[in-house]
């Protein structure tokens, strides 16, 4: 039987309750996992600064822990150091826009910490 080394958890619908809280039971389970040497990783669509309070609350806000943010686009230590960054090319963005625009779906592009809203024509 293999030993678990890493536990990756999404926030919404997984770690959070409906009111965006972490239950006492989940807190205890995460601490127990860490005590056994399991690395706890938060995965989210949010940027790191938006989950800072959660990381602090769970005792994960340091340079030994990391999170997967922007839906996998950025992996960084919880102190902010970037480990892996996946960027989209302009052509990639144009393809996404071409799919979203006929549907009237909103689209935002994040570049160097600035969010650009791309208006739809629908």
Residues 6 or more apart from 65 whose CB is under 8 A from it?
Answer: 39, 40, 41, 55, 77, 78
What is the distance between the alpha carbons of residues 58 and 30, in angstroms, rounded to a whole number? 8
Looking at residue 104, what DSSP letter applies? T
12 is catalytic: no
Whether 53 contacts 21, CB under 8 Å: no
Strand, helix or coil for residue 15:
helix
What is the distance between the alpha carbons of residues 18 and 1, in angstroms, rounded to a whole number? 35
- Which of 10, 19, 92, 112 is an active site residue? 10
For the annotated catalytic residues, the residue numbers are: 10
């Amino acid at each position: 039987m293999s030993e678990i080394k890493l536990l990756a958890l999404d926030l919404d619908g997984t770690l959070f309750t409906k009111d965006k809280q972490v239950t006492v039971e989940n807190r205890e389970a995460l601490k127990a996992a860490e005590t056994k040497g399991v690395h706890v990783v938060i995965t989210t669509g949010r940027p790191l600064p938006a989950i800072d309070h959660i990381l602090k609350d769970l005792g994960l806000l340091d340079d030994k822990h990391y999170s997967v943010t922007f839906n996998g686009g950025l992996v960084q230590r919880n102190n902010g150091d970037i480990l892996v960054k996946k960027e989209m090319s302009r052509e990639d963005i144009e393809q996404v826009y071409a799919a979203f625009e006929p549907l009237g779906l909103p689209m935002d592009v994040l570049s160097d910490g600035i969010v650009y809203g791309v208006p739809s024509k629908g």
